[in-house]
C-alpha cells in the first residue's frame, strides 16, 4: 500500500501548468485589478498611520471583515479633512495586491466622510477632547486692546473677506493692517493658518515687521467640509497658545468652528470682526469734545464755587490794621522798658565782678597751688610704687617660665654630651636599625651640627664586607637577620 501511494505522489501531472511564486503572485494581481478596477467601499477607519514619506496606511473595517487601504501622499494632501481612527468614510479607488506580503489592499483615490453626520460626530469628539484640556476656558481669554496700532489679518489675499475688513477699518478708524496670506480651504490650509498665528506671535516691535496688537483669523462662509481646516487641532492649539488677542471670524453667523471656542472673541462675520477690533473714530472725537465741554463747565463751576467760599471766609476775617494793633502796642511798651533793663543788668554784673575780684588774693592762690601740688606728688609716689611692684611680679614670673623652658628643652640634654641624628629632610632618627649603610645624616650637638655618613661595623667588615644597600628596606632586613647583622656606627 505504502509503495503504491508513494508512486502516485511522485508521478508528474502533465496537464497542470507549473508557476513560479512571482508568476502566480502577479497573475493574481492582474486578475484582481481586472475584476475590481474601480470600487467604492464604505467602512470605518482603523489603525490610521501616516508614514514618514507622507503615505497613509490604515484598515477599513465593518462588522465582519477588514480591508487594508493605502493612500499616496499626493492624494492625501488634496483631502479637505485629516483621516482619523473611528471615522466612517467612503473610499473610492482600485483593488490590487501586494505580492511581497501575499495580501490584497485598496489604493484610495478619493476619501470622503460617510455623510455630514460622521464629520459632526468627529467634530463633537474633538471639541470634547480639547475642552477637557482647558483650551476653551474663559479664564484663558484676553481682553481686546481699545485702540490697536497694528491689526493683523490671517486670510486669503484674493477673497472678498480682506476687502470687507479693510473697508470697514477705513470707515471706523484707519489703522495699519498686516496681512498674512494663507489658504483657507483644501490642501495645507490648516498648517498655513497655524503657522501664521505662531509667526505673528514671534514678531518683535524692533523688527522689520512690527508685532501686531490684535489678530483677525477670517474666512467667508461655506460647507462643513470647506470650513474643516479651522476645526483642525493644530489651528485650535495655535490660537489658544497665542499671546496676542485673537478674533475668530470664520463663516457666517450660523457657522461654528472649533477656532471660535479657542479665540478670545468670536465675530459673526469678518466685517463684525473689524468692528470689534477698532472703535468708531467719529464717535470717539464726538465723545472727546463732549468730555472737554463737560470738563470746562465743571472747572468754571468749581472756580465760581471756590470764589464764593473765599468771599464768605474773608467776611469773617478782621482788618489787617486791627490784627497789628495789639502787637504794635506791646512793641512800644517793651521798647520803653529795654533801656532801664540794660542799665540794671550792667550794674548787677559789675557788682558780681567786684565781689569775685576781692577773692583773688596772691597768697591764697599760692596756698591753693601748694595744696594741689602736694596731692599730685602723693599720687605720683603711689603710682610709682605700684608700677615697680607690678614689674617685679612680672619679672619673677618670666624668670620662672624661662627656667621651666630650659629644663624641658632638649638642648639641655645635648649639653650633657648627647646628639640628635637627623636625615637631610630634617626627620629625627630615633633607632639605629632605621639607618642604612652609606646613608648620609646630620648630627646636632649642643653647639652646632655636622654632616656624617653611616659606616659598617669593623667586626662585620672584617668577617664579611658589606656592600652599602641603596634600598633602606634591604639594609633593614640584613640588620634584623640575627647576630651576623651588626649595627652600623656613626663617624
Q: What is the mean pLDDT of the chain?
A: 82
378-385 own/partner pairs: CB under 8 Å, 24+ apart? none
Query: What is the grid cell recorded at 61?
Result: 473595517
Same domain, residue pair 251 and 337: no
Exposure of 172 in the CB half-sphere (CA atoms within 13 A): 20
As a whole-number percent, the residues of the chain with pLDDT over 70 amount to: 86
Domain boundary among 326, 346, 366: 346
Together in a domain, 261 and 300: no
Q: 466 pLDDT band (50/70/90 cuts)?
A: very low
- Identify whether residues 94 and 194 lie together within a single domain: no
The 3-state DSSP class for residue 352 equals helix
Cell 461655506 belongs to: 222
DSSP 8-state symbol, 228: G
Give the structural domain span for 326. 286-346
Residue 180 in any domain: the answer is yes
Does 485 map to a domain? no
pLDDT at residue 457 in the model:
63
Does residue 326 lie in a domain region? yes
Locus of grid cell 463684525: 272
Determine how β-strand 440-445 pairs with β-strand 420-422: antiparallel
Q: Which of 295, 317, 346 is at the close of a domain?
A: 346
214 has pLDDT over 70? yes
If one counts the domains in the chain, the total is: 4
Flag whether 407 is in a domain.
no
Instruction: Answer yes or no: is 490 within a domain.
Output: no
Residue 123: inside a domain, yes or no? no
Q: What is the CATH number for 171?
A: 3.40.50.261
The verdict on 197 and 239 lying in the same domain is yes
- Do 443 and 452 form a contact (C-beta atoms < 8 A)? yes
* 202 and 293 both lie in a single domain: no
The answer to whether residues 303 and 230 belong to one domain is: no
Q: In this structure, are 157 and 271 located in the same domain?
A: yes
Same domain, 166 and 255: yes
Of 151 and 8, the structure prediction assigns the larger pLDDT to 151
Contact 90, 42 (CB under 8 A): yes
Considering the domain boundaries, does residue 448 fall inside one? yes
Task: Tell me the pLDDT tens digit for each residue of 93-105.
Answer: 888 877 777 777 8
Among 279, 288, 188, 280, CA closest to 235? 188
Q: Are residues 103 and 183 in the same domain?
A: no
pLDDT digits (tens, 9 = 90+) for 422-441: 898 989 888 888 888 888 99
In this prediction, residues 333-351 reach a mean pLDDT of 89
Measure the CA angle with vertex 213, ends 210 and 215; round to 5°. Answer: 100
Going by pLDDT thresholds of 50, 70 and 90, the confidence category of residue 302 is very high
Same domain, 196 and 242: yes
At 41-85, the pLDDT tens digits run 888 888 888 888 888 889 888 887 888 889 988 888 777 667 877
Domain CATH code at residue 59: 2.40.50.140
Within-domain flag for 442: yes
pTM of the full predicted structure? 0.46
In whole angstroms, what is the distance from residue 372 CA to residue 214 CA?
97
pLDDT of residue 490: 47
Residue 125 has pLDDT above 90, yes or no: no
| Segment among 245-254, 286-295, 297-306, 411-420 with least mean pLDDT | 411-420
Residues 250 and 267 in one domain: yes
Last residue of a domain, one of 279, 299, 331: 279
Task: Check whether residue 253 and residue 168 sit in a common domain.
Answer: yes
Between CA 272 and CA 276 the distance in angstroms is: 6
Amino acid at each position: 500500500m505504502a509503495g503504491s501511494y508513494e508512486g502516485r505522489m511522485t508521478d508528474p501531472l502533465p496537464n497542470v501548468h507549473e508557476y513560479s511564486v512571482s508568476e502566480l503572485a502577479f497573475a493574481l494581481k492582474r486578475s484582481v485589478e481586472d475584476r475590481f478596477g474601480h470600487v467604492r467601499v464604505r467602512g470605518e477607519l482603523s489603525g490610521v498611520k501616516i508614514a514618514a514619506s507622507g503615505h497613509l496606511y490604515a484598515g477599513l473595517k465593518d462588522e465582519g471583515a477588514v480591508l487594508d487601504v493605502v493612500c499616496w501622499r499626493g492624494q492625501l494632501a488634496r483631502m479637505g479633512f485629516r483621516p482619523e481612527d473611528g471615522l466612517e468614510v467612503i473610499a473610492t479607488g482600485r483593488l490590487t495586491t501586494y505580492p511581497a506580503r501575499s495580501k490584497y489592499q485598496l489604493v484610495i483615490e478619493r476619501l470622503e466622510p460617510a455623510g455630514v453626520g460622521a464629520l459632526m460626530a468627529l467634530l463633537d469628539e474633538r471639541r470634547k477632547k480639547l475642552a477637557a484640556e482647558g483650551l476653551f476656558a474663559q479664564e484663558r481669554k484676553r481682553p481686546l486692546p481699545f485702540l490697536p496700532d497694528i491689526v493683523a489679518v490671517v486670510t486669503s489675499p484674493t477673497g472678498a473677506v480682506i476687502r470687507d475688513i479693510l473697508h470697514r477699518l477705513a470707515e471706523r478708524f484707519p489703522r495699519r493692517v498686516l496681512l498674512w496670506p494663507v489658504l483657507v480651504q483644501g490642501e495645507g490650509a490648516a498648517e498655513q493658518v497655524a503657522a501664521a498665528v505662531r509667526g505673528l506671535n514671534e514678531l518683535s516691535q524692533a523688527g522689520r515687521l512690527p508685532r501686531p496688537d490684535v489678530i483677525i483669523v477670517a474666512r467667508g462662509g461655506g460647507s462643513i467640509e470647506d470650513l474643516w481646516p479651522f476645526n483642525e487641532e493644530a489651528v485650535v492649539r495655535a490660537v489658544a497658545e497665542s499671546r496676542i488677542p485673537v478674533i475668530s471670524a470664520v463663516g457666517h453667523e450660523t457657522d461654528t468652528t472649533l477656532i471660535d471656542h479657542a479665540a478670545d472673541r468670536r465675530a459673526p462675520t469678518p466685517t463684525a470682526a473689524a468692528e470689534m477690533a477698532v472703535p468708531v473714530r467719529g464717535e470717539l472725537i464726538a465723545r472727546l469734545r463732549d468730555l472737554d465741554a463737560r470738563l470746562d463747565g465743571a472747572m468754571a463751576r468749581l472756580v465760581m464755587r471756590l470764589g464764593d467760599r473765599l468771599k464768605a471766609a474773608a467776611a469773617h476775617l478782621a482788618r489787617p490794621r486791627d490784627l497789628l494793633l495789639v502787637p504794635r502796642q506791646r512793641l512800644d511798651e517793651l521798647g520803653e522798658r529795654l533801656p532801664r533793663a540794660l542799665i540794671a543788668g550792667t550794674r548787677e554784673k559789675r557788682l558780681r565782678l567786684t565781689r569775685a575780684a576781692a577773692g583773688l588774693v596772691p597768697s591764697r592762690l599760692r596756698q591753693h597751688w601748694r595744696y594741689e601740688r602736694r596731692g599730685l606728688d602723693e599720687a605720683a609716689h603711689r603710682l610709682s610704687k605700684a608700677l615697680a611692684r607690678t614689674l617685679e611680679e612680672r619679672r619673677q614670673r618670666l624668670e620662672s617660665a624661662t627656667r621651666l623652658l630650659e629644663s624641658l628643652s632638649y638642648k639641655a640634654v645635648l649639653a650633657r654630651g648627647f646628639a640628635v641624628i637627623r636625615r637631610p629632610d630634617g626627620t629625627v632618627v630615633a633607632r639605629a636599625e632605621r639607618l642604612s649603610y652609606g646613608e648620609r645624616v646630620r648630627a646636632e650637638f649642643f653647639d652646632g651640627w655636622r654632616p656624617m655618613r653611616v659606616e659598617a661595623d669593623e667586626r662585620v667588615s672584617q668577617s664579611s664586607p658589606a656592600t652599602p644597600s641603596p634600598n633602606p628596606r634591604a639594609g633593614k632586613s640584613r640588620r634584623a637577620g640575627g647576630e651576623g647583622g651588626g649595627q652600623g656606627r656613626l663617624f
